[in-house]
Amino acid sequence: MPFRRIFWVVLDSVGIGEMPDAAAYGDAGSDTLGNIARALPLHLPHLQALGLGNIRPLNGIPPAPHPLGGFGRCALASPGKDTTTGHWEMAGIHLAQPLPLYPHGFPPAILDELTARTGRGILGNIAASGTEIIQQLGEEHMRSGKLIIYTSADSVFQIAAHESVVPVRELYEICEIARDILRGPHEVGRVIARPFVGEPGAFTRTSRRHDYAIAPPDMLLDRLREAGIAVHGIGKISDVFLGRGLHSSHRTASNEEGMQAILDAIHQVDPGLVFANLVDFDMLYGHRNDVAGYAQALRDVDAWLPLAMQAMHEGDLLILCADHGCDPTTPSTDHSREYTPLLTYAPGRVAGINLGTRQSLSDIGQTVAHNFLTPISRGTISRGESFLEAIE
């Protein structure tokens, strides 16, 4: 019997150990959950009860004798290790080539055109930490009005600007121009607006970040919409998929706000899919190598989990997963090429199911598609293998 409602929660960047090709990405030894658990005490009783330690034993999180749900891990079949690649693969899109990266900055022709079309000069144009580059260049930006351009190990073109120098609406318009310029071989996964406030030496980024992703090919959310299945996005899901296939969208500024939005959806949403992303793990802690902050964010989700589970009804399914890793214990501040955990919980259904190592994140999307009796995509090779029958 299919599930009436599915609550699909992406714990952004919570990886569970390096994939076999991690060294090719510079990520040998990356193990987000494992290394955090080794670095400091990590007690996650509710995630443990679902089967987190059954995926692989972690320091302080041993296997549960009788897991409450299904447990396994997913490989990333597409090349890459970024938000767009991971989320697209969940929805059935496999990339043949990785999205373009710019570790040494963007070509002059791109920046020259951006300057010509916006009337603003450029600062930076390097791969950098977003929090660090605004401290380094923020004062000069305020004096000159030039845009701070930077990237990372991800396929991103980020534009930072002080809200008193470049109003947020103008920054968004500039990002739309950049999105239009970055086509063809320079079509990065996302253009990101990074507004900030404050005074020199004490700049802080605001919650008015906005992502401009490339348009995804035909995928799961399109099919669900055509089938009449309501899909509710929480967090940056709308940004990643350009709002495609969404019945509603709730933008959030923190994990706390995202978890509350999921709880509200459990109490209020009619049959359909709630697709959520909790981004603080990645944005606030992984990229800043904040091990203690990352661990506390995990504890916060663990404390929230029983509230969600208790509010669920028979006929509901909870899926917890991730899109890549971002190990805060390694020297790198970038994403890491890791397996991602897979945990499921369904009140009144079979528990303690070992889902094994899935060969693609598309297995999750294929399971959702299978449940709602729709194909994961149209006119392309079917991606992923459903595990619906195992958890039913």
State the pLDDT at residue 213.
87
Residue pair 381/96 in contact (Cβ under 8 Å)? The answer is: no
pLDDT digits (tens, 9 = 90+) for 164-203: 999 999 999 999 999 999 999 999 999 999 999 999 999 9
Question: Measured between alpha carbons, how far is 217 from 151 in angstroms, rounded to an integer?
Answer: 24
CA 264 to chain centre: 21
List 213's β-bridge partners, or say none: 190
Look up residue 277 and give its two tokens: 């992303």
Residue pair 324/13 in contact (Cβ under 8 Å)? The answer is: yes
Which residues lie closer than 8 Å to 357 by C-beta, 6 or more apart? 72, 73, 74, 75, 339
Q: What is the pTM of this model?
A: 0.90
pLDDT truncated to tens, each residue of the chain (392 aa)?
A: 699 999 999 999 999 999 999 999 999 999 999 999 999 999 999 999 999 999 999 999 999 999 999 999 999 999 999 999 999 999 999 988 888 999 999 999 999 999 999 999 999 999 998 889 999 999 999 999 999 999 987 899 999 999 999 999 999 999 999 999 999 999 999 999 999 999 999 999 998 999 898 999 999 999 999 999 999 999 999 999 999 999 999 999 899 999 999 999 999 999 999 999 999 999 899 999 999 999 999 999 999 999 999 999 999 999 999 999 999 999 998 899 999 999 999 999 889 999 999 999 999 999 999 999 998 887 555 679 999 999 98
Q: Where are the beta strands (DSSP E) in the chain?
A: 5-11, 70-74, 122-127, 147-151, 156-162, 190-197, 204-205, 210-213, 231-234, 248-250, 272-278, 316-321, 340-345, 353-358
Q: Where do the domains of the chain lie, and which CATH numbers do they carry?
A: 5-93+216-391 (3.40.720.10), 108-213 (3.30.70.1250)
Question: Measured between alpha carbons, how far is 99 from 260 in angstroms, rounded to an integer?
Answer: 33
Supply the DSSP symbol for 245: T
